[in-house]
Every structure is written in C-alpha cells, then in structure tokens.
Structure 1
Amino acid sequence: MSLDQPQFSFSVSHKDGFARAGTFSTPHGPVATPQFMPVGTLASVKSLDPDDLTRLGATMVLANAYHLRLRPGDEMIRTMGGLHQFMQWHRPILTDSGGFQVFSLEGLRTIEEEGVAFRSHLDGSLQQFTPESVMRIERNLGADVIMQFDHVVPGQSPHDLAKIAMERSIRWLERCRVAFDALQAEDTLAPTPVQALFPIVQGGIHADLRQASARAIRNAGDWVGYGIGGLSVGEAKPDMYAMLDVVNTELPTDKPRYLMGVGFPEDLVEGVARGVDLFDCVAPTRMGRTGAFFTSAGRKNIKNAQWRLDSTPLEDGCTCAACTRFSKAYIRHLFVAEEILGLRLLSLHNVHFLVALMRDARAAVQDGTFSGWSRDWLARYHSSKLSS
C-alpha cells in the first residue's frame, strides 16, 4: 500500500517506558494520543450528540460497517455526503469492518475462503461480506481510517482454530489491500477521497501466532497504523495483557496502534503502558444505560439505595456535564423513575471519564511520571469492589 498520503502522519513527542504521547494526523484533523474513541455503532453515540462529544473532549469516533450496511445502507450514507456529513461529526472517524459482528452470528453464518455468508439479524435476509465488498462499504461510508475484514474467533480458542483464523486474516488483508488501492485510485468522488487502511493482528492468546501475525503484516506493507484485534472477547485479562506485551515488541514504534473493542478503565491504563495509542468500546454507554458508572475508586451502580440522599456528584472533581450539575440522589431518582435523562447522564459521564483518563495518561507521559501515575491509579481503582 502506498503511503504517499500527506493527510496521515504520526509523531511521538514523549515516551515513558513503552507508553507514548503523540499526535495522529488525519484528513479531518489531529488526534492526540493516547485517545479513547466513543463508539457510534449506527452513526450515533447512544444518547449523546456531536456537541456533547466535542465538549467532553472526544476527537475521534467509531462507527460500524456491518450495522450501517444493513441499516440505513452504505450507499444511502454516501448519497447523503458520507458519515461526517450524515452524523454531523466533522472530526476524524474510524469504521470497524464488521468482522467481529459477522463472526459472532453463531448459527447464522457460513465461513469460506471467499468470505462470509450470513443472515441479517434484522430481517433474516441473506448477506455476504468479502474483503472486496467490505472495502467498498467502508469507502462509501467515508471514514478517515478503515479496518481490514478479518476472521475473529473467541478469546479462549485453541491453537489450531486461532491459527486458521489468523492465517485467513492475513490472506484477506492482501485482498483488502488490492481492493483498497484500486478504490483510492478510481473512486475519486468518495466522501473522503484519501483513507487509511489498518491491518489487524490476530492470533488469540497464543504468543507464537501473535508474533507470526504481526511479522507477516509488517512485512506486507508500510501501513499507516495497526489494529490489534481478537482481545477482550472472553479471555482472562492477564492473557490479554500478555498478548499486548508480545505485539508491542513486534510492531513498528513509529505508527499508531489501535486496540480494538477494549474500554474498561483499567484496561486502557494497562494498554497505554504496553504501547497502545487508540482504544474504543461500547462499554461506557452500554453500562451507563444499566446504571453503572466509572469512578477513580472503581465501578459503582447508581441504583443502589446508598445514593438516595447523596448530594455529591458521581465523581468528585469530574468536569462532565452530569457531575457539575447533578447529584447522585437526583440521577438515582431518574433511574428509579425510569426517566431517560438518567441513561443519558451516566452515558455522558462514562464517556467523559475515559476520554479524561487518556488525557491524564498523556499528561503523565509528557511529564515523565507515567509509571508512578499508572501504578497509583490502578491501585486506587482496584481498591473498591464493584457495587451491585
């Protein structure tokens, strides 16, 4: 893949151990790293609008090719000017290829070398994703960064199954690259004419497979950045961290690394310590809709009776719109009364918490204090058990 793309660059300004502070430049603006990307699966971060995201400091969001292909359709979004115009978010966007969603449709899909045939979860219609068709879908959506179509398996998959998926992902990457290069050369009227294709490192929890995947991808081209996939899909956290250690030593240090689908606070801090620059996850909004909220002393649940007369904010010192205006008692009342504002406020707080956490991590790297900062932060966070 040609990297004669001045719209994309990555520079690291500071290092502290393996942790880095940098800037990833894209056609729709710069992204300070490390960075958490809120997930707007269907071109919307649930219950939040673009102004909310801007105010809380988000600079890049994620949308999903699988879901948007099925509804409202990638061609319709292209007709509407692409994702940036359609969802009125004019900063960088990344689209996931839908590999995880497709392969999670157990019983509804058939995997072959050509691609994956599956039944839509919406209406049961027969669909097919191939590396080539996914590149066209992501071209139509118009994100700045697009992901290859890969083969995802559960986190605890045995070595033989993980090997099959990893090797197929490498073969599909070459097909993605050929289609991607052709589209960039021929489809000059796309919503975002110049995009960046990220490959994805697979291999389950097997160090030799992760090494082989990273080396094969690295040797296949001078990529703009790298995705790390197939983690946080059922494996134990120590296994995930071990795989990040393996990948950290195999990937180029001058390109951004994106850990896909990981978004719990402790995992972000552990990931930054292992050289990861970008993260995304549905957890902050999904958990917010069920009453869970992040604090520096662990995860809490707003529905607990202990908050009924609590006049303090969700997190002391938090500058999000929920914490600066409302008390735990009020937000708990909203949940008990089934008022939709409660879901919105916790979602807003949780996304803000993760964006601010990565901003603090960046500052610690810049100050040369990340090692001590992360150690103290994790000790404090783990000191309190999840309230049920």
Structure 2
Amino acid sequence: MAASQRTYLDHNATSPLRPEVAEVVLRAFQLPGNASSVHAEGRAARAAIERAREQVARLVGTRAKNVVFTSGGTEAANLVLTPGFRRLGQNGAVKLLVGATEHPCVLSGHRFPAASVEIIPVDSNGILDLTWLEAHLQKAGDELALVTIQLANNEIGVLQPVAEAARLVHEHGGLIHTDAVQAAGRIPFGMAELGVDVLTLSAHKIGGPKGIGAVVLASDQFEIAEKLIRGGGQEKGFRAGTENVAAVAGFGAAAEIALASLEQEAGRLRALRDEAETQVRRIAPDAVVVGAQAERLPNTLAFAIPGLKAETALIAFDLAGVALSSGSACSSGKVKRSHVLDAMGVEPALGEGVLRVSLGWSTTKEDVIRFAEACERVVGTLYKRKASAA
C-alpha cells in the first residue's frame, strides 16, 4: 500500500498537525522578538501568546489569565501534582489520591512521597469508585487531600464522573485536578461545570503542535510552592523560560478550530467509531469491546479478539497500511502490560490482545472501510490458524 493510502487511526497518541495550524506556526516562527521585550517586535510576540491564551481558555470555558503554558501535558501534570499546590493561605499536610487508571505522567510524574499517596480503585468498566473516594476523604481529617482524576482515559476512552468527584472533594475541603488531555476538543465541558480547581492540556491531541501544553487554574487564588522550572517571571511566575511563541500560537489555533466544530465533529466521529465497532463484531463475533458499558469518548474503540496478541496484530495492521495502537503503553517498541486493564480486572490473556482505534479530524469513512478490510485479513489468518490446530 502506498504511503498516501495509509490509514492513520492513532489520534489518542498524536493527532496530525492541522494544515491551518501549520500556517499559524510558520508565521509565528518568523516573529523575531522575545515576548518579554518592550519593543515592537517583542510586543508582536507577546500579542501572539496572549491571543493563544484566550483561545485555549475559551476551549475549556475559563478566563485567559488562568492559563499557564508548559512544554506539554506531562510537564503540566508534574507542575501541579505537588504538596506545594494549594489555595492561597492554605496550610497543613497534603496527601494525594490518584485514580488507578491515570496516565503515567500522573502516576509516575507526581511529586509526593510514596507514603502520602493512595490509589482510587476502579470497577470492571474502568469507572472510579466514588464510595471509596468519599470514605477516604472522610478519613483524611485535618489532612488536605489533592485528588487527581483523568477526565477521559487515553487507552480505552472511558469518561470519569469528575463533576461528582469534585463535589465530594470540595465538601471535605480538598482540591481536585483533572487530566483533560484526551477530552479537550473532543467532548464539550467547562471548568465551572466540572468544578475542578485545575486541569491540564496538551496541543498535539487536537491537531496542534507537539511539545506544548497548559495548566489551567480555576482562578488566581492558587499557588505552587515548588516550581519545576525556575528563573525569570514568565507565565505569571509559574513556569520560567522564554516562551515557545510558535508552538503556543499553534496551540491557540488548534483550540479555536476544535471549539468551533466540537458538537458536529463529536457526532461525526461517534458514527465512524460505531461503524468500526460494528465491523469488528461482524468480523470477529467473539471480540470484546473494553469499557462498552461505560460512557466513552466518541473517537475511541478498544477491543480484543481472543487468541490475537496485540504485538502480532499491530505489525499485521501496519503492513496492511493501518496505524493502530495497543491498549497498553509502549516503551522502546515493546508492548507492555496495561495498568489500566489490570486495574479493571481484565483477564491477562485477553488484556494482552487489546487494540485501540482512535479517530480524529483527518479520519474519513474510507479510513474505516480500509480498517475493516485489514481487520478481515488479520482475523482471517487467526481463524485459519485456529482451525488447523483443532
């Protein structure tokens, strides 16, 4: 299959850069000034950053002054998940309550000592146990709880009851962060509606550039005692360093485009996702769709076919011109066991075969057709192998 015919269905890993965004990035690259300089060139760079700040703020329904740009979603999560993140004037010990299915940038990137961390369990659909959460918030006593819950899971697309969790957290005087990297630009939400104190974002999931993200605070009444990057006073003192003007401008452009087409695009992707799921079930009646009983992102399908290993399937799909991902994290090209599936209690043999189809702005009906054709070939080979072994 020619390169031009390849079918890219891995938008949860990275969504290709939108052409309109690429134009914005290129123009911003040509701005000569440092955004901290007072001359005309510096002011032009500053204007590009502040426009982007407004665009990103609108995507999540907040004010521009609450947006802090970082190098990506990982840095954003590392920055806020620290005992030093709190409301102004708040004192006392802090503990971290973290969802079992969180992204590694949260599970491994927080800055709490192990003794101050507790894991919130999930059910078989990947939904957090709010009863457990409430009981542990009550047990915290005078200790401040910082709770972090992913709005949408990157592996299986399951949405978490963040607004309900936020209500419980605030009833007990705690703080709540949500990793909204996968949800932003794919489902409508606002910070006030969610009730969270802080959320984190990344541009490259919505057709923006890689290497740019944001911390978005609910107000200016929060502080972070231990900054990650110290130096000048950029980004309101939360994150030092000369701003990446081109990447910031691209993030803003991608956010504006995503917001303008949010409802329509969600419906379009849901229809394509559902068609892909229908085709998988037709081709492999014994296929298992992970998280099927939960509310999911409209663009994400995670499935397993008994007997089909993810590592083998990914290679076969790639040779057929279709780019997918496994439901588990990859490191150095090796498919690893998924902590998400383990937390859900998915049988290990089945978990080793979970594949993820994730759609985005560039996905077409023809892409789904080509995926189904490739799936038939891959599964057909599996079934033939099973028949000869019988």
Pair member with larger Rg: 2
TM-score (norm 2): 0.30
Higher relative contact order (CA 8 A, sep 6+): 2
